Chain A
């Protein structure tokens, strides 16, 4: 009888704990999209080799002029996601490695030969990697990027 009476208490406890548990269960991709996508488009990981992502994640404290460091857990989740989906990762597309020397670690997608061939017009002074880098960094200004949890502009950022 008393055990039966305790059952609803268990249900109550479960109901209280469930939202917290659900929030913790973010996938590595969701962590990537939320955290990295707060400041810039969550670039498809296949656009860089795994060694590039590794170098970028290792130095988030100095990330293109800003401190973008994260907690240990989020950093680890993002590293896993990027390694798996990098151009040379198990889920990536090696075509994006065209023209990349194995000795070179590109630090920007705009340094990738495939990108420079396709976007030759953006490489004009002041547009591509010059003062106009903002535009080259926002793929969604020209591309309709709907995958990767990216909904164009309007992402949330800041605390």
Chain B
């Protein structure tokens, strides 16, 4: 009776250590896929005919100079540079790590952070909230870079 319980305890402890290691090692690709799936579901809700995200549309969105942009932030590329593999620079002079996933693998892996920055930067550059399709396109473009 004593032995099986000890065995179970050891096994469960061992598995808890493994689980701890699994959460410690981030899986950026699957986290990013989950965020894209989140925006895809939102896009489908708005338009049942939604076909999927486009890196090319994301690139155009990134480079565009919208008519109503705040003067300090005329486009995404104004701070991030026109090549997202480059580091960017804030107006106050701070370096922004590249948006391209190949250069900064942790990009678009935490939904709360992605939401925060889209909410604010869409407001600054586009003077409105971006749609789920625009956000998905943007992430898809950055993931391709």
Contact = CB atoms under 8 A, between A and B. Distances in A.
Contact of B97 (A7, A67, A157): A157
Contacts of B113: 159
A70 to B, nearest CB: 7
A1 B114 CA distance: 47
Contacts of A115: none
B92 A40 contact: yes
Interface string A37-81: 111110000000000000000000100111111110000000000
A139 to B, nearest CB: 10
B23 A67 contact: no
Given A12-B15, A155-B95, A66 B72 contact: yes
Nearest to B109: A159
What size tier do the contact residues of chain B reach? 35 or more
Given A12-B19, A69-B120, A153-B95, A159 B71 contact: no
Contact of A66 (B91, B107, B110, B115): B91
Interface in B1-53: 1, 5, 8-9, 12-13, 15-17, 19-20, 23-24
A138 B91 CA distance: 10
Nearest to A134: B93
Interface of B: 1, 5, 8-9, 12-13, 15-17, 19-20, 23-24, 70-73, 80, 88, 90-97, 99, 107-108, 110, 113-121, 123-124
Given A64-B72, A157-B90, 7 more contacts: A61-B123, A67-B121, A135-B93, A155-B95, A157-B95, A159-B116, A159-B117
24 contacts: A1-B5, A5-B9, A11-B13, A15-B16, A19-B23, A40-B92, A61-B123, A65-B71, A65-B91, A66-B70, A66-B91, A67-B119, A68-B120, A134-B93, A141-B93, A153-B95, A156-B96, A156-B97, A157-B94, A157-B96, A158-B121, A159-B108, A159-B110, A159-B115
